[in-house]
Amino acid sequence: MARAQAQFLKLTDASGIVRERWQSYWSTQVTWSSAQWDYVALIADGFVEGDSGAEQAISVRLPATPRAVVVCERARAAGWVAELQVYQFDDFAAAAGPVAGQELVAQFNGQVVGAAATVTSFTLELGSALAPVGATVPPRTLTTALMGVGCRL
């Protein structure tokens, strides 16, 4: 029994509409989580090399097909939200498509914060919505409604 991994990338615009669903393992369109996922030979470099818990940017490299270039340019310009997931599974059982029981091994949610292109490839930079340094909970005004009546000396 051999193990395999598939990466799933979902791009959502600011209004919450899912614009693209891409997966990196099956060479055809597959159904997973009640949705259609198209094949794109994507590679999430920083995702597999580093620690996604550090909230550092992750690079997703994909071929510069006409459709991918248009989608990536729109995602960069509008700051679409990206959800990247890596699943591990038995490759023999999942030969025709995703099967129940895939194991989620990593996940990253972020915003498309940059892009770069060459003649043959397109790279999306996914970053966290919160900066790792200086990110704080929004300030609150302490009132008696929140804190109650303070003690008086």
Sheet strand arrangement including 30-32: 30-32, 35-39, 18-23, 3-12, 81-90, 103-117, 121-127, 58-63, 43-44
Q: Which domains does the chain have, with CATH numbers?
A: 3-132 (2.30.110)
Which DSSP category does 14 fall into? T
How many other CB atoms are there within 10 angstroms of residue 114's CB atom? 13
Residue type for 51, please?
D
Number of H helices, E strands in the chain: 3, 9
Q: What is the pTM of this model?
A: 0.74
pLDDT tens, the chain, 153 aa long = 677 788 889 999 888 889 999 988 888 888 877 889 899 988 887 655 444 445 567 888 999 888 888 998 998 888 888 888 888 877 766 666 777 777 888 888 888 888 888 889 988 888 865 555 544 444 455 555 556 666 666
